A and B are shown apart, each in its own frame.
Chain A
Amino acid sequence: MDTFAQLVILTFAAGTPLVFAALGELVVEKAGVLNLGVEGMMLTGAVASFIVTADTHSPWLGVGAGALGGAALSLVFAVLALTLLANQVATGLALSLFGVGLSAFVGRGYISVVIEGIKPLSIPGLSDAAIVGRLLFGHNPMVYLSLALFVAVQWFLHRTRSGLLLRAVGESPASAHAIGHRVIALRYAAVLFGGACAGLGGAYMAVAYTPSWTEGMTAGRGWIALALVVFATWKPWRVLAGAYLFGGVTLAQFQAQAAGVAIPSQLLAMLPYVATVVVLAIISRDATTIRLNAPASLGKPFHPE
């Protein structure tokens, strides 16, 4: 059963970038803001974390830099979309393209640099013992970080007053403003949080998953994260499930390619994206669930008179 444990660990590993990015975007969208720049923020986070890791030889410092990089790019979005009331869709798309270009430019000199990344946990006696031990203690530390993020987001949204306010702002910013809340400030915080999470997702890819830097290394995961949030009907646990589904299918298609299945590799590479979207589209058909969870003001600019 060793291979089983290995498969689970690899599935989690492949799904984790999406967990980070999609949970961040979920919080942003719950506040009623649509930031389509996830791909750009992930790549910015990835390149920032890789450069800092290569220069300081501290991958955890790199992870911090990744979060900051993503947040910095999201700040650009926040100023444009929240303060200057630019169209959120156009701004987000521009941000993605900008992030792709910026990361490629900044990362020119680092393409073949080798770094010491974050290794999976290895606790003697636990991580290598029985299958349960491997399943519980054999992941990369950043996978645990992403799970902690999941718990934190879930708890924040449904157990705290600020989370309640965030959901309320996403539903009706005008009402929230009318009863005296600071809508724009809260949306800024949400956008920055989302940027930091996307940055973490990118950092995970660059310093933990495949420690290396290549241009456009997130390969559209930012876009899948966006789709994931919608198809998960803005529910964190569904985001988690969708991310691991994506991870599992990614893994399966790698295995199929390695085994030399007679399907063009390009088609196989499409599979994780298609499977994730199709499965989630099917489970998210219930109109009531969507109405209850979808932030009603999503993407609409709000200006307090």
Chain B
Amino acid sequence: MSAAALAPDVQARPRLSLRGITRAYPGVVANDRIDLDVLPGEIHAVLGENGAGKSTLMKIIYGIVKPDAGTMQWEGEAVRIASPAQARRLGLAMVFQHFSLFETLTVAENISLALDAAEAGPGLPAKIRDVSRRYGLTLDPARLVHAMSIGERQRVEIVRCLLQAPRVLIMDEPTSVLTPQAVLRLFDTLRQLADEGCSILYISHKLDEIRALCHRATVLRAGRVTGECDPRRETTATLARMMIGAELPHPRHRPPVAGAPALVIDGLDLRSDDPFGTTLRSISLTVCAGEIVGIAGVSGNGQRELLTALSGERRVARRDAIVLCGTAAGRLGAAQRRSLGLAFVPEERLGRGAVPEMSLAENALLTARHRGLVWHGLIRADAARSRAAEIIASWSVKAAGPGAAARSLSGGNLQKFIVGREILQGPRVLIAAQPTWGVDVGASAQIRQALIDLRDAGVAVLVVSEELEELIEICDRLAVIAQGQLSPARPVVETNAEELGLLMAGSAAMPEPTAARGRA
């Protein structure tokens, strides 16, 4: 009850104050009359699902997007922030979800570009080392960014912001790219900053993190503020109710009944065709019929390379490095692998999972050529339309109909359509990359449940995801990919987030597949 329980002084004048901020895009009001107050030295969460309008709001505050209506006050003075440069002059800094770093430049060069010419002099590397030591963010100013891991890049972004001595720091989904251990270190840094008087706007949809870190939370749903609370006094369930208007859905599980191996990867080596990519080194994994195997890992550790090798977009040197339903498939192309019973849900929905300009019916046709939709090379338009309509109906996809262009669908709806299309193939092996990335909670739950149902129907399912919680929730066994190497898959019940986090960081020694560990 006492105000002292709240770390920052609630009576203090807000450092940043928004009133009635509104921004509409064609077809959607991203921000609808948003009010927000940020006090000095507080860690203020902006909580909401994907698409709730969090990122738009932050872009408005940072001057990247102009609001249609509403006012802003900075330290009690009315301001209009017209550009990021002006935002930075006021004392706002932002760490972007998709980083704003220049890959071909060094850390010091990247940071110097964000500072005034006067501050970016020859003393900069020393300043960088200074700040990174003070906040425990180890950095080498001379390294090129493209060679750094995602977590290291985030450190560059943070140090770059800190050198500007910001009074409000905006962090947009900062933990989505970090291992559990790195998240804890980040929290320490943020708490230290808040203690020094810096306000932090913390954008996230992860309820546990917000409860552990933030002093106050503003909850957004569909562009509107639906609540304001002290997250430390809330439960995950009450926060979820504010965020999605319902309880967090949990999928139903049945004990696994693993059958025969359906997908066997055996000692797969593959040089990346991208010089900044990751080379795969002796990857081995077996996925049996009737089980879900997950591959966890921070993105950029070889997931992309592994997935292109599995989907058949890249062929591998050895035929039997990939065995699909008993057939050595290493040299087969994507179409041949699909005819063996493989279905694939890629990470990029637009451009790889679906052709953006084409209708849903045409997109349904693209991976279903041999299933009655084509007659002697001619498209059977009716069949394609009814197939698309079937997917739309059974997945309650929000779309204008089978004729709607794929690009007109929201991320969640398009993903449901793609997953539905692949499942309708009646696959024996389904590979899904980031199946719920950027998908709202309801659709995520639906997709996860579908994967579990598929498993129960005897399909071998492989899920590659950065969302550790999701993997732990749906998978039977989990492996971790780090620096192009895959750890042995272990039953989920025998492992935990900390152990997996260490593997993700590549710091824990990969356990040898054979028990021969020398003298000990």
Residue numbers in B under 8 Å from A176 (CB-CB):
102, 113
Question: From DSSP, what is the main secondary structure of chain A's interface residues?
Answer: helix
B96 is an interface residue with CB less than 8 A from chain A: yes
Interchain CB contact under 8 A, A164 and B64: no
We find that the number of chain B residues with CB closer than 8 angstroms to chain A is 30
Residue numbers in A under 8 Å from B66 (CB-CB):
305
Which single member of B65, B105, B113 contacts A179 (CB below 8 Å)? B113
Find residues 279-303 in chain A having any chain B CB closer than 8 Å to their own CB: 287-288, 291-293, 296
**How far apart sit A179 and B112, CA to CA, in the bound complex (Å)?**
11
B428 is an interface residue with CB less than 8 A from chain A: no
Interchain CB contact under 8 A, A181 and B104: no
B85 is an interface residue with CB less than 8 A from chain A: yes
A171 is an interface residue with CB less than 8 A from chain B: yes
Interchain CB contact under 8 A, B65 and A175: no
Interchain CB contact under 8 A, B275 and A171: no
- Least Cβ distance of A186 to chain B in Å? 12
**How far apart sit A177 and B82, CA to CA, in the bound complex (Å)?**
12
By a beta-carbon cutoff of 8 Å, the part of chain A in contact with chain B is: 161, 164-165, 167-168, 171-172, 174-181, 287-288, 291-293, 296, 305
B213 is an interface residue with CB less than 8 A from chain A: no
- Least Cβ distance of A205 to chain B in Å? 34
Interchain CB contact under 8 A, B103 and A165: no
Find residues 235-284 in chain B having any chain A CB closer than 8 Å to their own CB: 273-276
Interchain CB contact under 8 A, A179 and B120: no
Known: A165-B113, A168-B105, A168-B113. Contact between A180 and B84, CB under 8 A? yes
**How far apart sit A178 and B172, CA to CA, in the bound complex (Å)?**
14
- Least Cβ distance of A23 to chain B in Å? 20
- Least Cβ distance of A156 to chain B in Å? 15
Residue numbers in B under 8 Å from A291 (CB-CB):
104, 146, 274-276
B339 is an interface residue with CB less than 8 A from chain A: no
Known: A161-B120, A287-B275. Contact between A171 and B100, CB under 8 A? no
Residue numbers in B under 8 Å from A178 (CB-CB):
62, 64, 84, 94, 96, 100
Known: A161-B120, A287-B275, A305-B66. Contact between A180 and B88, CB under 8 A? yes
**How far apart sit A244 and B381, CA to CA, in the bound complex (Å)?**
60
**How far apart sit A176 and B94, CA to CA, in the bound complex (Å)?**
13
B347 is an interface residue with CB less than 8 A from chain A: no
Most buried by B among A165, A175, A178, A291: A178
B441 is an interface residue with CB less than 8 A from chain A: no
Residue numbers in A under 8 Å from B273 (CB-CB):
287
Q: Which 9 A-B pairs have the closest CB atoms?
A: A180-B85, A175-B100, A288-B275, A179-B114, A180-B84, A178-B100, A168-B102, A287-B275, A171-B102
- Least Cβ distance of B83 to chain A in Å? 7
- Least Cβ distance of B364 to chain A in Å? 31
Residue numbers in A under 8 Å from B117 (CB-CB):
161
Known: A161-B120, A178-B96, A291-B276. Contact between A167 and B64, CB under 8 A? no
**How far apart sit A176 and B84, CA to CA, in the bound complex (Å)?**
10
Interchain CB contact under 8 A, A172 and B84: no
Interchain CB contact under 8 A, A305 and B109: no
Known: A161-B120, A181-B113. Contact between A293 and B104, CB under 8 A? yes
Interchain CB contact under 8 A, A175 and B102: yes
- Least Cβ distance of A213 to chain B in Å? 42
**How far apart sit A44 and B120, CA to CA, in the bound complex (Å)?**
41
Interchain CB contact under 8 A, A164 and B109: yes
Find residues 70-115 in chain B having any chain A CB closer than 8 Å to their own CB: 83-88, 94, 96, 99-105, 109, 112-114
Which single member of A287, A288, A305 contacts B65 (CB below 8 Å)? A305
Most buried by B among A164, A176, A296: A164
- Least Cβ distance of A89 to chain B in Å? 20
Interchain CB contact under 8 A, B83 and A172: no
Residue numbers in B under 8 Å from A288 (CB-CB):
275-276
- Least Cβ distance of B420 to chain A in Å? 33
- Least Cβ distance of A235 to chain B in Å? 13
Residue numbers in A under 8 Å from B120 (CB-CB):
161
- Least Cβ distance of A240 to chain B in Å? 22
**How far apart sit A180 and B86, CA to CA, in the bound complex (Å)?**
8
Closest A residue by C-beta to B276: A291
**How far apart sit A291 and B273, CA to CA, in the bound complex (Å)?**
12
Which single member of A161, A171, A180, A287 contacts B83 (CB below 8 Å)? A180
Find residues 99-137 in chain B having any chain A CB closer than 8 Å to their own CB: 99-105, 109, 112-114, 117, 120
Closest A residue by C-beta to B117: A161
**How far apart sit A177 and B62, CA to CA, in the bound complex (Å)?**
11
Residue numbers in A under 8 Å from B103 (CB-CB):
171, 296
Closest A residue by C-beta to B87: A180
**How far apart sit A161 and B111, CA to CA, in the bound complex (Å)?**
12
**How far apart sit A168 and B114, CA to CA, in the bound complex (Å)?**
11
Interchain CB contact under 8 A, A174 and B275: no
**How far apart sit A172 and B96, CA to CA, in the bound complex (Å)?**
14
Interchain CB contact under 8 A, B100 and A172: yes
Most buried by B among A165, A171, A180: A180
Closest A residue by C-beta to B272: A287
**How far apart sit A296 and B104, CA to CA, in the bound complex (Å)?**
10
Most buried by A among B87, B96, B104, B275: B104
